[in-house]
Amino acid sequence: MRLLESLLLALPPIAAAASTHWPYKRYVIPDITSDPHKHGKLEFADSEPPNHFIEWLRSAVKGDQSGTLRQPFKGDKIPRHVKNFEELWDYIQFPEALDNATRRPILTHPTFPIPPTNQEALSIFADLGYPVDPLCTSDKTKWFYRTVDGSCNWMEVGNTAYGQFGTKRSRDYNQYSYQDGYNKPRDGPNPRAVSNAFFKRKQRLYYEHTPLLLGLTEFVMHDVTYSEDSTTEYVDVPVPPDEDTFPKNTTFRVWRTERVPGTGTSPSNPRENANQASTWLDVSSLYGSSTEVSRALRSFEKGKLLTSQGNFLPFNTMGLSMRTRPGVDPKSLFAGGDPRTNEDWIMLAVHTLLLRDHNRMCDLLVKQHPEYDDERIYQTVRLAMAAKFALIANSYQMAYWQTTGIDAMPWPRDDGFPLYRQMYGENALEINPAHLYPWPLVTKGGKPMVASAEMAVVYRFHEFIIASFPLKDAKNNTIQEKSTFESAFDSKGFIAAGLENILRGIVATDIPNFKSGVDESFRSAGKYRGSPFDIVTWSIVHEREQGLPTFNEYFRAYNSYDPAVVIPIRERFEDFSSDPEMVAHLKRLYTHPDEVDLVVGCQLEETNFPGTTVPSSALIISLFSLFGLGNSDRFSVGYSIMRCILVDKPWDCTPSNALDELFWDPKPTKHFPWARWLNTFWLNELDFQAHGTNLLWRLITENSEVDCLQKNPLFPYDPETNPILCSLPSASPNVPELILTAIEVILTLYKEHQGSFITFLVGLITLTGWIVYQLRTHPSGVPPALYGWPIVGVALQFKSDASGLLLKGMRKWTAVFGLKLANQIQYVVTSPADMQVIVDDSQYEVKFSLHEFLRSINSDLITGKTNFETDLHTRLMRNNLLDSEKLAGFAETAGDACDLFLAREPLLAANEKEKHYDDLIDYLNRYITFVMSRCIVGPDSFDDEGLLKTFLKFNDDAVNAMGLASLLPSPLRFIAGLSIQEDYKAIERVLVPAVGRRRSQQSSDINFLNFILPVIDNDKDAADMLAIVVFGGLTNLQATMHSTFLDIINQPGLQTRILNSLDSAAIGNLSSNRSSSWASLRSAAFESLRLSGPVTGPARAIMEDVPLPSDPSRHLPKGQAIALTAYYLHRQPSVWGADADRYRWDRFIKEDPPIGSDRFVSWGLNTPHMCPGRWFALQSIQIMVKALLEKYEFAQDRELSDSEKYRYSSGSVLRNPIGVKVLRRP
C-alpha cells in the first residue's frame, strides 16, 4: 500500500506541469453538446485579446485636462502600439532623480497624541482631506487590511465606526416617518391586501437573464445588510376579507426589526435599526462580520477557509447562529458568514463558488510568496476576493443595461461608471475610474455612502424569484425541476444534487422581469420557518415599522438635490400607473397619493432609468446606492489600481494597503528604490484586461467541474451574442517522458519496497497493457471512436448508461464517432448527408445491409437460422400489417382483448374506490403481452398463464442473449442461446397443439396465425413464428406504450383532456390515417414515440469502405456498423424548437411527424426496411391507452421532469418507476 501511495503521489506534479494560468485560453463551440477538441476554436487564436484597461487608460490620458494622468508617461501619452502592462512600463517617464522633498509630510492633529508606530500611516494618508483617528493608525492591521467588523474603513477622527457591524443604518435623506414621529409603525392599509392587489404574479414576463442574477442579488444584499428580528415586538397582519389563498382566520406575525438600544424614546431620538453586517462590499457573507464568526470559519492553515467533504461549505458543528426552519437542526446546515446562508440553493451555489475561489487564490498566493504566514495570506486574499467581487458586481450592474435601440446605455458601458454619468448628465471625460479617494461624488454630508435602510427594503427584486429551476447533468439533460422554496435549509440535499448540476441548471433557464409580480410559492407560502408567509407583506411591514418614508416623501427629498434624472411626484393616483385596475386598487386602499408605500410606488413605476431595463425609482434606491457604496470603500479596487498613478507615481510609490501591495510589484532601481509597477499575474487573475467581464464565467469554471457555459452566465446562451466557451482542454501527456519518469520512480521505490514489488509489478503489467490499448493508433482516415476496455470495449457502459456514453461521444466529436461494442464498432452518424447515403443504397444494399447487421448482433439466435436466412417473419408482417382492411380487423381484436384483460385483472377490486401502486410497469407489461398474444395467436390458448409468462421472459432473454453472444468467440456463441431454446420449448408445448387445432377450424376474427398457416405447414415452425412475432411486438410496444400512458398521467389535467377528446372515438373510425376523433391521443403517442427513441438505431452493417459525405477525408470502414440515434436527433432544437427535449402532447395535433425522414427515425428511414408493424403498433397503443383512461383515473406521486422518465440500456429504453394512485371513474 505504501508503494502504491508513493506512486500516486508522484503523479500530480506531472499533471500539474501541463496546466496554464488564465487568461483567455478558451474554446468557442457551436452549442453546449459540441466537442471543443473537434469543433472548438480558440477565442483569441492569432493574438492576445485587446486590453480594455490599457485602451481606457490611453483615452483617459489623452483627455486629461489636469495633467495628473499624463505626467507619468513619456510624451504625455500612451502610444497606440502598447498592448499590455509590460510594454507600458517602457513608456514611464522617470524624473532625473528622486526628489525627497516631494515626499508627503506627516499630518498631525493637536487633539490626539501621536504614537510613534503610526508615522507610516500618517504619511500615507496625509491627503485624505480629514484627520485620521489614532484608533486606526496605531495598529497597522486596522488600516493595511480590512477589519472584520468594517471599522476603520472610514478613518476620520470620531467616525471610524461608520459602516461597522452593529451600528445604526443610515437613511438616505434622514427621514423618519413613524406614526408618532419616533417609534410607532407608520399607518397604512392592510399589507396583505396591498400584496394581493399589486404584487400577485398574473403573468410571467420574460427577462433575458438567468437565475444566477437572482443568486448574486441575494448574495450582494446579504453582504451589505442584515437585521435581527426583535424577540418581543411584532406586527400582526390578519388576511383581508377578500383573501382567496389562506383561510380567513389566518394571521401573519411579522417581528419588528431589533432597535439600536436606547433609541425610539422621543422625536429627537427616533428609533434606529442596527445593521448586523458590515456595510462594505467585503464579502462578509462568506467571511463573517464579527471576530467570533470569522475565526470559526477559518482553517488557520495557509490562509484557507474551512470546508466539508467534497469541498463544500463546512457544516455548522461550531454552533454559529444560522437561520433554519422547525425540525431542521442548525448543526445539519452549512456554516457561513451570514445567518441566511442556507436560504436557497441558487444563492448557496454562489456562496460555494466564492469559498472555493478564496482557497484557490490562497494556493496562488502561496506559490508567489511562500514566506507569507497564514494570517498574511488570509488577509491579503480576503482583500483580493472583495476586489474580485466588486469587479463581478460591475458585470452584475451591466446586466441591467439596455444595449439596443435609442434608449441604449451610452458607451463606454464596461468601465463601471455609466450609471453615474446618466445620473449627473456628464460624459466619460468627467466621470470615469480615474479619481482619488475619497471621491466627493459618493459622499453625503462629508460621509461615505453606505447601505441605507431604504436600500435594505427596496433592493430585494423579489420579482426575479422563480418557482423552480432545473438540475442538469453533464450531458445537459434535465435531472429534475427543483422547487426554489423547497431548496431552503437543505444543505445535505444541496450536496446530493451536486453543485455542477445546480449551476448548469441555473445558467440554462431564465427569470421573470420587474413587472411579473412575485411568485406565489414565496408570496403565499403555507409555511416558512414554521409560519404562513408572504415575502411582500414582510417588506411592507418592515418599511412601515422602520419609519421609512412613503414614495412621494422619499422622492421629494431626492428631487431637491436637482438630479439629472428626476422622479415625478405622484399628485394623483393615476400618476402611479396607466393600468385602470391598479389605479382602482390604489383608490380603494389609500386615501391620498402621499400615503402610497415606497415599495408599492417602485413596483408600479412604468419608466425605466435611462439606458437600463430597471424601473427608475427602484434603481435609484438600489443599484445607484450600491454603486456609491462600492466607490465609498477605502479598499475599492478602483483606488488600488490607480494608487501609483494618481496618488503616488510609479517611480516612488508606497502601498496604502495589502491590495495596493498585491497590484503594484516592487521594481527598485539604483536611483528609484521605491519604484513599483503593475503585477500582470494578479491583474490577469482579476481580469482587468476586460474590466472583470469574464470573472463570472471563470468563477464557475475554475471552481467546479463545469467546463463549458455561455460567456456571460447572467444571460441565456445565444450563438452570436453569448456563445458557449470551454476552458482549455488538458494538454496531451508526453508519453515518452511519462514512461521515463515512471521507470525512474519505480527503480527508486524497488530498493525500498522489494517485498511488495512483485505483486505490484503484475498489476503494472496489466495496467500497461490497458494503456497501450488506449493509446494505440486507429486506422487512418476513419472517424474517432470510444474504445474503452480490451475485448469488451464500451459495451458494459453502453448497457448501464447508453445515453451518457452517446453524449460523451457527441461532446467530443459531434457529427460522427464510433462506439466499440465488443467485437464491433458502431459508427453513430447525425449529419443528414451521411444518413442520405443509407437511403440511396437501400434498394441495393451494396454499401449497408440490415440483414448482415442483424447477423452481427446474433439475431439468428432469436429467430432461428432458417427463418433468419429467409427473412420470412418480416415478409409476413410487411404483407399483412400494412393492409388497411386487416389493420381494421386487428383493431377490433385488440379492443376485445383490452376489455377482457381489464375485466380479468382489474386495478381495483369491486369494493375499492382507490388504491396506491408503487409502480404500474409490471401491470402494463402483462396488459401489453395479453393483447399482443390475442392479436398474434388468436382465441385458442392465447391467455395460457404459462405462455404469457414465457412471452415476457423470452423478451428479456432475447436482449440478454444478443449482448452475451457479442462478447463470445463464434464457437461459444451457442451458450448465449441456451435460455432462448428453453423458452421456445415452453412456448411450443402450448402452441403446437393450438396450431394443430386451428388448422381444422379457422378463427372468424383477425389474428396473425391466420396468415401464418397458409405459408408454414409445420406446426412447430408455425408456433416458433408466433413466438418471433410476439417478441417483435413486445419489443416495439413496451417502450412506446409505457411512455404514451405514463406521459399522459404525468402531466396534471392531461388525462381528462385526452379522455374528453375521445368522446366520438371508436374502433370503427381508427386507422393509420389521421382522424379528428383520435387526433389528441395520436399526437400524444407520436410525441412519446419521439422522446422514447433508443440511443442507437436503426443500424446497418457496413459492407465496403464508404466515404463520408460530411467529411470526405474519412470513410466508414468495412466490417463495422453504422447507426442513427433517435435519442439525439429527436432532441435537436434546430428541428423541434427550443422545447425539443420536453414533452408537449399537442406537438403533432395538426400533422404527423416527418416519418422516415432524418428528423424522425423511430421507425427507420424511408427505405424498404422501415418498420412493417408501425401502424399496427400505433393503433394498438391508442386502443390500450383509451381503455385504461376510460376505466380509471390515475394520480402520480409527483410530476416527473422529462429527464427523470427514462433509463437507457443498450438498445432498450425503460421507464423509471413512479408511485401511482388509481381511482375508479364514475
pLDDT band at 740 (very low <50, low <70, confident <90, very high): very low
Task: Indicate if the pLDDT at residue 757 is higher than 50.
Answer: no
b/e code 1101-1122 from CB counts within 10 Å (16+ = b): bbbeebebebeeebbbbeebbb
Report the alpha-carbon distance of residue 1029 to residue 1039 in Å, rounded. Answer: 17
pLDDT of residue 964: 58
Residue 927 to residues 433, 1042, 1083, 1190, 1224, Cα–Cα distance (Å)? 73, 11, 22, 15, 18
Give backbone dihedrals phi and psi of 409, rounded to 5 degrees, phi first: -65, 125
Using one digit for the tens of pLDDT, what is the confidence trace for 1011-1048? 888 888 888 888 888 888 777 766 667 778 889 999 99
What's at 1106, amino acid-wise? V
Q: For residues 201 and 520, is the Cβ–Cβ distance under 8 A?
A: yes
Strands 206-207 and 41-42, how do they pair?
A: unpaired
Q: For residues 325 and 530, is the Cβ–Cβ distance under 8 A?
A: yes
What average pLDDT score do residues 226-240 get? 93
Of these ranges, 456-465, 633-642, 800-809, the one predicted with the greatest mean pLDDT is 633-642
pLDDT band at 627 (very low <50, low <70, confident <90, very high): confident
Q: For residues 1067 and 809, is the Cβ–Cβ distance under 8 A?
A: no
Task: Indicate if the pLDDT at residue 758 is higher than 60.
Answer: no
| Residue 925, C-alpha cell as written in the block | 407489461
Report the alpha-carbon distance of residue 1093 to residue 1125 in Å, rounded. Answer: 8
CATH 1.10.630.10 in the chain is located at 854-1094+1174-1224
Report the alpha-carbon distance of residue 417 to residue 144 in Å, rounded. Answer: 27
Sheet with 41-42: list strands edge to edge.
41-42, 26-29, 724-727, 708-710
Report the alpha-carbon distance of residue 623 to residue 396 in Å, rounded. Answer: 10
Residues 6+ apart with CB under 8 A from 679: 662, 663, 664, 665
For residue 684, with 0-12 CB atoms within 10 Å meaning exposed, 13-18 middle and 19 or more buried, which class applies?
A: middle
Please confirm whether the linkage preceding 412 is cis (ω < 30° from 0): yes
pLDDT band at 114 (very low <50, low <70, confident <90, very high): very low
Report the alpha-carbon distance of residue 979 to residue 970 in Å, rounded. Answer: 17
Task: Indicate if the pLDDT at residue 744 is higher than 60.
Answer: no
pLDDT of residue 741: 40
Task: Indicate if the pLDDT at residue 132 is higher than 90.
Answer: yes
C-alpha closest to that of 411 among 686, 88, 59: 59
The SS3 assignment for 518 reads strand
What is the 3 state secondary structure string of 417-440?
CHHHHHHHCCCCCCCCCCCCCCCH
pLDDT band at 417 (very low <50, low <70, confident <90, very high): low
Q: For residues 914 and 1221, is the Cβ–Cβ distance under 8 A?
A: yes
- Which stretches of 922-976 are assigned E, i.e. beta strand? none
Per this entry, what is the length of the chain? Answer: 1226
Q: For residues 1183 and 887, is the Cβ–Cβ distance under 8 A?
A: no
pLDDT of residue 73: 93
For residue 812, with 0-12 CB atoms within 10 Å meaning exposed, 13-18 middle and 19 or more buried, which class applies?
A: middle
Strands 914-917 and 443-444, how do they pair?
A: unpaired
Residues 6+ apart with CB under 8 A from 912: 1224
Specify the CATH class of 854-1094+1174-1224 in words.
mainly alpha
pLDDT of residue 962: 59
Task: Indicate if the pLDDT at residue 409 is higher than 50.
Answer: yes
pLDDT of residue 240: 94
Using one digit for the tens of pLDDT, what is the confidence trace for 1047-1083? 999 999 999 999 999 999 998 888 778 777 899 999 9
pLDDT band at 205 (very low <50, low <70, confident <90, very high): low
Q: For residues 1221 and 1195, is the Cβ–Cβ distance under 8 A?
A: yes
Task: Flag whether 462 is marked binding.
Answer: yes
pLDDT of residue 1075: 77
Strands 708-710 and 724-727, how do they pair?
A: antiparallel
For helices 1054-1061 and 1019-1050, the axis angle rounded to 10 degrees is 120
C-alpha closest to that of 482 among 1027, 1023, 1198, 1212: 1198
pLDDT of residue 566: 93
Using one digit for the tens of pLDDT, what is the confidence trace for 1112-1149? 888 999 989 888 888 888 888 888 888 888 899 999 99
What is the 3 state secondary structure string of 340-377?
CCCCCHHHHHHHHHHHHHHHHHHHHHHHHCCCCCHHHH
Report the alpha-carbon distance of residue 287 to residue 344 in Å, rounded. Answer: 19
The SS3 assignment for 32 reads coil
Determine if residue 1164 is left, alpha or beta; phi over 0 gives left, psi from -120 to 50 gives alpha, anything else beta.
left
pLDDT band at 1105 (very low <50, low <70, confident <90, very high): very high
Q: For residues 1158 and 832, is the Cβ–Cβ distance under 8 A?
A: yes
C-alpha closest to that of 1032 among 825, 1209, 875, 844: 875
